[in-house]
């Protein structure tokens, strides 16, 4: 059976990283947490808004997705984060076609995401915010499971994900 990739999809500040770290601690198998935010910090901020063809963000997302596959190819479970929009879905298709990906929707209301975003100290200039239409569009996916971090505790969300994954581990 292919090594599973758990992909947590949601808006910025929906709680994906908190959930990924808690899930990693709770799993009975080694799992590699791959954070898109951390991956993107490998590029200096002044380059994010400079015009490139193809766009730098698209290049980095493709590299991020290939790195997920590389880790899974070595036999490790991967817990990763995503912000999949209709306009970026095609970047993810090769990953979905080749690997056993469990897609989890991580939701929270826009006002809460905005509050969390303001409280974060790790933001820098770059592609981190979503317009209101994109905030909704990020969830135009067919999920295996959805969690709402505004009403469910991290522990409850982890339990739900583990229940889904137990058949795969």
Domain of 54, in residue numbers: 4-165
In this prediction, residue 1 carries a pLDDT of 46
In this prediction, residue 128 carries a pLDDT of 43
Give the residues of the chain that fall short of pLDDT 50.
Answer: 1, 124-128
Q: Is 78 helix (H, G, I), strand (E, B) or coil?
A: strand
Q: Which CATH number covers residue 57?
A: 3.40.50.300
Could you say which DSSP state residue 3 is in? Answer: P
Of residues 165, 127, 130, the one with CA closest to residue 145 = 165
Q: How many residues does the chain have?
A: 169
pLDDT in tens, 12-27: 889 999 999 999 999 9
**3-state DSSP: the chain helix, strand, coil percent, rounded to 5?**
45, 15, 40
Tally of structural domains, the chain: 1
**Contact by Cβ (8 Å): 88, 137:** no
In this prediction, residue 168 carries a pLDDT of 59
In this prediction, residue 81 carries a pLDDT of 96
**Contact by Cβ (8 Å): 71, 78:** yes
Q: Which residues pair with residue 102 across a beta bridge? A: 6
Contacts of 162 (CB under 8 A, 6+ apart): 23, 26, 27
In this prediction, residue 111 carries a pLDDT of 85
């Amino acid at each position: 059976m292919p090594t599973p990739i758990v992909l947590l999809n949601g808006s910025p500040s929906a709680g994906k990283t908190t959930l990924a770290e808690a899930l990693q601690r709770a799993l009975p198998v080694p799992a590699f947490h791959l954070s898109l935010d951390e991956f993107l910090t490998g590029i200096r901020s002044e380059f994010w808004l400079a015009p490139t063809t193809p766009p730098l963000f698209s290049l980095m997302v493709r590299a991020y997705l290939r790195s997920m596959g590389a880790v899974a190819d070595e036999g490790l479970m991967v817990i990763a984060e995503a912000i999949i929009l209709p306009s970026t879905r095609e970047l993810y298709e090769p990953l979905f076609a080749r690997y056993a990906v469990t897609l989890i929707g991580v939701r929270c209301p826009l006002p809460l995401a905005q509050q969390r975003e303001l409280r974060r100290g790790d933001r820098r200039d770059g592609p981190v915010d979503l317009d209101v239409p994109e905030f909704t569009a990020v969830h135009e996916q067919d999920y295996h499971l959805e969690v709402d971090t505004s009403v469910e505790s991290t522990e409850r969300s982890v339990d739900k994900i583990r229940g889904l994954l137990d058949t795969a581990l």
